[in-house]
Amino acid sequence: MTRPTSAQLLVAAACALIAACAGDATPPTSATATVVADDHGAHSKIATGPLTVAQEAGIKAARKATARFNSFNQAQKAGYTLQFPEGCAELPGTGAQAYHYMNEKLVDTKIELERPELLMYEPQRNGSLELVGLDYVAPRDPDLKGADRPLPLLGMEFMEVSVKGADVWALHIWAWRPNALGVFKPWNPAVSCQYQFQD
**Structural domain includes residue 192:** no
Helix/strand/coil percent split, the chain, to 5: 25, 30, 50
Q: What is the CA radius of gyration of the chain?
A: 15
**Structural domain includes residue 195:** no
**Structural domain includes residue 178:** no
Q: Higher model confidence: residue 103 or residue 32?
A: 103
**Structural domain includes residue 102:** yes
Assign residue 155 a region (left: φ > 0; alpha: ψ between -120 and 50; beta: otherwise). Answer: left
Q: For the residues 143-149, what does the mean pLDDT come to? A: 92
Q: How many domains does the chain have?
A: 1
Choose the weakest-confidence range: 77-86, 91-100, 161-170, 176-185.
161-170
Is a pLDDT exceeding 80 seen at residue 106?
yes
**Structural domain includes residue 184:** no
**Structural domain includes residue 188:** no
**In the prediction, which pLDDT does 48 show?**
40
* Cα dihedral across residues 85, 103, 151, 59: positive or negative: negative
Choose the weakest-confidence range: 2-11, 33-42, 149-158, 178-187.
33-42
Is a pLDDT exceeding 50 seen at residue 120?
yes
**Structural domain includes residue 185:** no
- Structure confidence at residue 141 as a pLDDT band (50, 70, 90): very high
Tell me which residue range forms the domain holding 102: 6-173
Using alpha carbons only, what angle is made at residue 30 by residues 94 and 40, rounded to the nearest 5 degrees? 60
Q: CA 139, CA 44: separation in Å to the nearest integer?
A: 32
- Structure confidence at residue 168 as a pLDDT band (50, 70, 90): confident
- Structure confidence at residue 7 as a pLDDT band (50, 70, 90): very low
**In the prediction, which pLDDT does 14 show?**
43
Q: CA 189, CA 46: separation in Å to the nearest integer?
A: 18
**In the prediction, which pLDDT does 50 show?**
82
**Structural domain includes residue 183:** no
Q: Higher model confidence: residue 134 or residue 37?
A: 134
In this structure, what DSSP letter does residue 25 have?
Answer: P
- Structure confidence at residue 16 as a pLDDT band (50, 70, 90): very low
